[in-house]
Amino acid sequence: MLQILKEGVLDIAMDKDTCVILIRALDVTDDTVATKKYVLNTLLKNCHDILTSKWGVLTILHILCPRSPRFFKPLLEHIPEPVVASSGVERFNCKKDNTVRQNELLKIILPHVIQWTQDNAKMVLTKNEPVLFSMIQKIDTTTAEAQKLLETLAEVAIANVSTMFTDNTAHRRLRGLVELCPPFGDVLLSKLSDDHIRTIAKVRGAIVLVRCLQRSAANKEKIVNILQPLVEELKETEGKNVKILLDEAGLVVGVE
């Protein structure tokens, strides 16, 4: 069946009614080599189109976070957890256990998704797209490619510091990255200059510094040392996030 679908895989993935066919194929096909050859190679060759498509992106998200209610709630009745041979029942969907199959598919797609995120770093930091957070939780942050990705995201944020830490979407995305991937917070803080930190501390992006200092004693010490001379000025600065930063840093106590 996958071989027959090969020529139309891109169109099938992009359609709201037929994308579920590919999603289910990813669920129940034991032959990972065939899945890659007839489905994933085409999707990944057109990675940008797929990852920016409302429906096409679901095929990749289903590998990153299978059956996540956040993305698949309307489709869950059509893609129940596959019944596998190890369950002992007579009629099963596939021989391979679900976790094993997902890990095999992850190895295929992750390098492409990482590269796409890196190439489109500014876009993924400023838009509420679904791939960044789903992917960041699956990467091994000790690898060279993951480190390069974290550095690129940090560098793009810093290069656009005047907007990234004030924009409503971007500062939340950066906060989310630190929460979901603490090593990103370490990379970001290592690249921020003292002046950058002083600037960020005065705006809504101060919450990103809060998350950084909460993850590491060394990060907290660095931030406290830089902000100590600015305590009085920061106390007069409007904004809930600035007050939270002062409280978490121990520079003031009892912020409501």
Same domain, yes or no, for 134 and 72? no
Query: Whole-model pTM?
Result: 0.92
Q: Which residues contact 156 (CB under 8 A, 6 or more apart)?
A: 121, 122, 125, 164
For each of the chain's 256 residues, which pLDDT tens digit applies?
888 888 899 999 999 999 999 999 999 999 999 999 999 999 999 999 999 999 999 999 999 999 999 999 999 999 999 998 898 888 888 889 999 999 999 999 999 999 999 999 999 999 999 999 999 999 999 999 999 999 999 999 999 999 999 999 999 999 999 999 999 999 999 999 999 999 999 999 999 999 999 988 999 999 999 999 999 999 999 899 999 999 999 997 554 4
| Tokens linked to 234 | 């920061």
Domain boundary among 50, 82, 114: 114
What does the pLDDT look like over 10-36, one tens digit per residue? 999 999 999 999 999 999 999 999 999
Same domain, yes or no, for 256 and 137? yes
Per-residue confidence (pLDDT) for residue 189, from 0 to 100: 96
Same domain, yes or no, for 250 and 129? yes
Q: How far apart (Å, rounded) are the C-alpha atoms in residues 60 and 64?
A: 6
Per-residue confidence (pLDDT) for residue 256, from 0 to 100: 45
Domain boundary among 85, 114, 143: 114
Nearest partner of 153 among 127, 182, 118, 180, judged by Cα: 118
Any idea what the Cα angle at residue 72 is, between residues 38 and 125, rounded to 5°?
A: 85
Q: How far apart (Å, rounded) are the C-alpha atoms in residues 91 and 75?
A: 23
Same domain, yes or no, for 83 and 131? no
Same domain, yes or no, for 104 and 126? no
Find the domain containing 49 and state its range: 1-114
Per-residue confidence (pLDDT) for residue 253, from 0 to 100: 54
Same domain, yes or no, for 98 and 140? no
Q: How far apart (Å, rounded) are the C-alpha atoms in residues 128 and 168?
A: 11
Within a 13 Å sphere around the CA of 51, how many CA atoms are in the beta-carbon half?
A: 28
Q: Which residues contact 78 (CB under 8 A, 6 or more apart)?
A: 20, 24
Domain boundary among 63, 93, 114: 114
- At residue 94, φ and ψ (nearest 5 deg) are -160, 160
Per-residue confidence (pLDDT) for residue 2, from 0 to 100: 84
- CA-to-CA separations, 221 to 189, 203, 206, 209, in angstroms, rounded: 12, 20, 16, 12
Contact indicator for 44, 112 with CB cutoff of 8 Å: yes
Give the torsion sign (CA, 236, 240, 245, 250): positive
Per-residue confidence (pLDDT) for residue 147, from 0 to 100: 97
